[in-house]
Amino acid sequence: MNFVLSLVFSSLAVLVVVLIPWIGVGALDLTTLFGVVIPYAALATFIVGIIVRVLNWGRSPVPYRIPTTAGQMWSFPWIKSNPIDNPKGAGGVVVRMLFEVLTFRSLFRNTRLEYRRVEGVPRINYEWEKWLWLAAILFHYSFLVIFLRHFRFFMDPVPGFVTLLQNLDGFMQMGAAPFNGFGLPGVYITDMLLMAAATWLLLRRILYSQLRYLSLPADYFPLMLILSLGFSGMLMRYLFRVDIVKVKELVIGLFKFHPVVPDGIGVLFFIHLFILCVLIAYFPFSKLMHLGWHLFKPHKEPLQQQPLCPACESLELPR
Amino acid sequence: MAETPKPVQTADIEHTRPLFEQGWLNKFSEIKPGIHCYGAKPKNTEAVGMPFPKDWSPTEEDWHLPENWREIFLQGFRERLDKYRTLKVFMDICVRCGACADKCHFFIGSGDPKNMPVMRAELLRSIYRGEFTAAGKLLGKFGGGRKLTLETLKELWYYLYQCTECRRCSLFCPYGIDTAEVTILGRELTNLLGLNIDWIAGPVANCNRTGNHLGIQPHAFVDMIDFFVDEIEEVTGIRVEPDFNRKGAEILFLTPSGDVFADPGTYTAMGYLMLFHYLKDLGLDITWSTYASEGGNFGFFTSHEMAKRLNAKMYHEAKRLGVKYIIGGECGHMWRVLNQYMDTWNGPADFLEVPKSPITGTVFENAKSTKMIHLVEFTADLIKHNKLKLDPSRNDNKVVTFHDSCNTARGMGFLEEPRYVLNSVCNNFYEMPPETIREQTFCCGSGSGLNAGEDMELRMRGGLPRANAVKFVHEKHGVNMLACICAIDRAVLPASMDYWVPGVDVTGLHELVANALIMDGEKDRTTDLRGEPLPGMEDEEDV
């Protein structure tokens, strides 16, 4: 399983994901299946899957309190401790976790190895490397904004924060080059950022030899899926417009459990929707569950008490 | 024993991979001499009742596995997934972002891609996916899954015993995935099949029998300390009088047995003895134990159960002697165990009191739970309160840098105290580059039971990043002394310094403290503890 095979396999998988609704709706007109049945099934899989996964994690105890300490411990009053990286109590833990979740702080620490030899003698340096952090943070926040923006399709009337977000996101009022001034809607910054970040996250897996070595189809597939999701969405917005009013009718119907499938929604929408369905149905079974991990974070807990947790008792360690 | 290549050959490391190569799932690494340790001898595994004792060698085809080894391994794996949420989650959530890849000293020193922390864990994860998850079973290698075969087991074993559990990777992981914990649990699984290495199994058997890793019996332990007493008298003219197993003492002192056994740890042990003697008049009431004569815990490199068993003697001895609390010497993984596991395993130590310095009255609130403090924090407190008469100029011929032990740094956050002590006892202290110290510190390269002789190439490779940082300050500031607070460091760094940075010695912190310590009634000191002339005394006759 080298990277070529992984890429081919993942691309084929994504291609199949695109072709299924294309044929299913475009040729066979199965709009109810793709507009109602599959979205419900996917959403159910997503929710139930995550719950089962998290409950399954929760079933196993955390017998030891063994955080990686990343700063000075709390000791003497005359030694300055690091309450975030080596928290003493719950407050520090909360701050540490918030920093991790909101700013990807550990990733920000990243460095890059620079190994050289001068006349046979190694010279090792640890260089600045924030690109992974930058791509990760842009990717996740753009995704969040785009998700929130989509509420204008889910809700009627459109909530104020969505409109606000939309205006902020589109404030640059660019057209989609090279079609500036051809009556195209303003380009959202987050669309561009998401695509750029996801492209970089994919490219680095191919360009950096260490990442090329360790990447699996399970790494390429979700990125490609997300890229196709973004691409199909952007196509709908910027080039092949679909009937937004009808789309909204469908989506609101879904959320009110009164699904109706209006005629005349372009097939592109069903492709976009199906990719999303695959993504969320795939979510609980994949590495994308790294999101759920933040519910636990046992290794970011405070160190200086080692309580005898009830779970530890069940370990029955032999004498 | 494999011959160790020359530094120039070892340094020829390729970290980049060719564009086209067979994927790692299909390509297995060959177990190489110089990189692996010898298999556990049956007498050592038998001695502690570990399963399947046998004579075996990692390079031989037949590992003498039991008939049903696959079931044993998989059952053990399942049990551990149920016992440790962390393991379960670590198996599920790694996104293979690669942030950890070039953080491991073994990868930096070897370029072996399976020494990237993510890959080390992937070796176990691929078995998890291939044997336990639907996607892995269904898609096989396309789902990143591998079946548990003899080949996968051997490869997993090979890399589990190329990890020193230093946790530098976990610092950079966005999810805090602790590859050390994966290694710890992975090694437990190998132990279910009798596949430990002898450099771990031997000390474990010894410790179980005599209370220390080296198998030193009580009378010999006292003899060794007596030898130090003579040495100290020669240097200082003072005869210190340590005592052993004294009931009713206020404090029990525990330290790794390596310090009483081999240079340069012995000088650190002499440092402890001198400090305790100095403090006696100020009210220190401390005793050594010949039963709990080991601070370290090689059981920790075997299984949680074995670690707990070997750890139990600490509190047990404290209870037997009726002390109020425990002080521990300079050690690395000993402190990881004490700080992160001991309370859970063998606590609560409610028969002990919260440590309080009899000299300064400082209460060590941070040790409220374990009732055990680090000698370095005890000493730092003494120096802060001006209780020690020190002449740092006696260490002026030493240009010192400080190596944070991975365990005290990333398993405690014990960063400032040793630096405070160091700055108080010597005048020439220079830090190594920030990416190589404190929480980002590099492992010595031989921790977690890998400090054997037969894997010298591995050790030198793993020691390269640390040595390279030392080389930097050696060339820039003329550093000639590497200070540390870990017994394994003291045992292994001299070899790594000789190999990569000749001209740099290794010392424990309390050796420097004792050199600087002005003791009442001492003769004019002309040498340091090693018998080397003190600065300005080079021409003295009797040196």
Regarding beta strands B372-374 and B325-328, do their DSSP bridges make them parallel or antiparallel, or are they unpaired? Answer: parallel
- What pLDDT score does A184 carry? 57
Nearest by CB: A70 against B19, B94, B439: B439
- In this prediction, residue A319 carries a pLDDT of 28
Q: Is the peptide bond before A259 cis (omega within 30 degrees of 0)?
A: no
pLDDT score for B541: 53
CA-wise closest residue to B37 among B63, B58, B10, B56: B58
The reported pLDDT for the residue numbered A153 is: 87
Q: In this predicted structure, what is the pLDDT of residue B79?
A: 95
pLDDT score recorded for residue A101 = 86
pLDDT for A266: 87
Which residue is associated with the tokens 């190694």?
A: A122
pLDDT on residue A307: 39
Q: Dump pLDDT digits (tens) for A103-126.
A: 998 899 999 999 999 988 999 999
Answer whether B478 touches A (CB < 8 Å).
no
Question: In chain A, what residues touch B16 (CB-CB under 8 Å)?
Answer: 209-210
Averaged pLDDT, B198-209: 95
Query: What is the per-residue pLDDT for B81?
Result: 95
Q: Is residue A302 pLDDT above 60, yes or no?
A: no
The Cα–Cα gap between B134 and B139 comes to 8
pLDDT-based confidence at A318, cuts 50/70/90?
very low
pLDDT at A227 over 70: yes
Angle between helices A217-234 and A267-282 (to 10 degrees): 150
Measure the CA–CA gap between A180 and B241, rounded to whole angstroms: 90
Of B369 and B67, the one with more pLDDT: B67
Tell me the residue length of chain A: 319
The average confidence (pLDDT) of chain A is 85
Torsion (CA) A51, A57, A63, A67 in degrees, nearest 10: -90
Percent of chain B having pLDDT more than 70?
99
Question: Per the structure block, which two tokens stand in for B123?
Answer: 């070796």
Q: What is the pLDDT of residues A21-46, one digit of tens each?
A: 999 998 999 999 999 999 999 999 99
Q: Å from B198 to nearest chain A CA?
A: 23
Q: Is the pLDDT of residue B369 over 90?
A: no
> Per-residue pLDDT tens for B442-499?
999 999 999 999 999 999 999 999 999 999 999 999 999 999 999 999 999 999 999 9
Is the CB of residue A74 less than 8 Å away from at least one CB of chain B?
yes
Residue A96's pLDDT is 82
From A271's Cα to the closest Cα of chain B, the distance in A is 24
Please report which confidence band the pLDDT of residue B511 belongs to, taking 50, 70 and 90 as the band edges.
very high
How far apart (Å, rounded) are the C-alpha atoms in residues B432 and B401?
7
Q: What residues of chain A lie within 8 A of the CB of B348, using their CB?
A: 308
The structural domains of chain A, with segments of one domain joined by +, span: 3-67+129-305
To the nearest whole Å, the CA of A1 is away from the closest chain B CA by 4
Evaluate if residue B345 carries a pLDDT over 70: yes
User: What's CA A167's distance to the chain center, in Å?
Assistant: 23
Is pLDDT at B313 greater than 90 in this prediction? yes
Three-state DSSP state, B287: strand
A82-117 burial by CB neighbour count: b if 16+ within 10 A, else e?
Answer: bbbbbbbeeebbeebbebbeeebbbbbbbbebebee
Q: For residue B193, give both structure tokens.
A: 């099949």
Window 208-237 of A: residues touching B by CB (8 A cutoff) are: 208-219
Say if the Cβ atoms of A122 and B174 lie within 8 Å: no
Do B367 and B354 meet the contact criterion of CB atoms below 8 Å apart?
A: yes
| Interior/surface letters B405-437, b for 16+ CB within 10 angstroms, e for the rest | bbbbbbbbbbbbbbbbbbebbbebbeebeebbb
Taking an 8 Å cut-off on Cβ atoms, the answer to whether B176 and A4 are in contact is: no
Contact B172 A289 (CB under 8 A): no
Rounded-to-integer distance, Cα A176 and Cα A187, Å: 6
Please report the domains of chain B, with CATH numbers, ordered by start residue.
10-30+51-195 (1.10.1060), 204-516 (no CATH)
| DSSP reduced 3-state for B288 | strand
Determine whether the interchain pair A73/B412 forms a contact, defined as Cβ–Cβ distance below 8 Å: yes
Q: What is the CATH number of domain A3-67+129-305?
A: 1.20.950.20
Rounded to two decimals, the ipTM of the complex is 0.90
Range from A122-126, A159-163, B313-317 carrying the lowest mean pLDDT? A159-163
* B380:A76 CB<8 A: yes
Which chain A residue's Cα is nearest to B120? A214
Q: Out of A70, A215, A285, name the one closest to residue B171 (CB).
A: A70
Contacts of B342 in chain A (CB under 8 A): 306
User: Residue A295: which pLDDT band, with cuts at 50, 70 and 90?
Assistant: low
Q: What is the mean pLDDT of residues A144-148?
A: 94
Instruction: State both tokens at B410.
Output: 């990333």
Task: Please state, for a pLDDT cut of 70, what percent of chain A lies above it.
Answer: 87
pLDDT digits (tens, 9 = 90+) for B91-131: 999 999 999 999 999 999 999 999 999 999 999 999 999 99
Residue A309: which pLDDT band, with cuts at 50, 70 and 90? very low
Sign of CA dihedral B111, B112, B115, B120: positive
3-state SS of chain B: helix, strand, coil percent to 5?
50, 5, 45
* pTM, 2 dp: 0.93
Report pLDDT for A91: 80
Mean pLDDT of chain B: 94
From A28's Cα to the closest Cα of chain B, the distance in A is 29
Q: List the single residue in A with minimal CA-CA distance to B466.
A: A124
Q: Cβ of B14 under 8 Å from any chain A Cβ? A: no
Contact across the interface for B362 and A76, Cβ inside 8 Å? yes
User: How far, in Å, CA of B263 to CA of B1, rounded?
Assistant: 23
Q: Name the closest residue on chain A to residue B303, using Cα atoms.
A: A317
> Would the pLDDT of A310 be above 90?
no
| pLDDT digits 0-9 by tens, B32-71 | 999 999 999 999 999 999 999 999 999 999 999 999 999 9
pLDDT-derived band of residue A58, with 50, 70 and 90 as boundaries?
A: confident
- What mean pLDDT is predicted for residues B427-441? 96
Q: What is the DSSP string of B344-404?
A: HHH---TTS---B-TTT--B-GGGTTT-EEEHHHHHHHHHHTT-S-B-GGGGTT--EEEE-
Report residue A294's pLDDT band, with 50, 70 and 90 as the boundaries: low
In chain A, positions 111-140, which contact chain B (CB-CB < 8 Å)?
111-113, 115, 117, 120-124, 126, 132, 136
Q: What pLDDT band is residue A80 in, cutting at 50, 70 and 90? A: very high
pLDDT exceeds 70 at position A185? no
For residues B71-97, give the mean pLDDT. Answer: 94
Amino acid identity of residue B242, one-letter, is: P
More confident residue, A187 or A3: A3
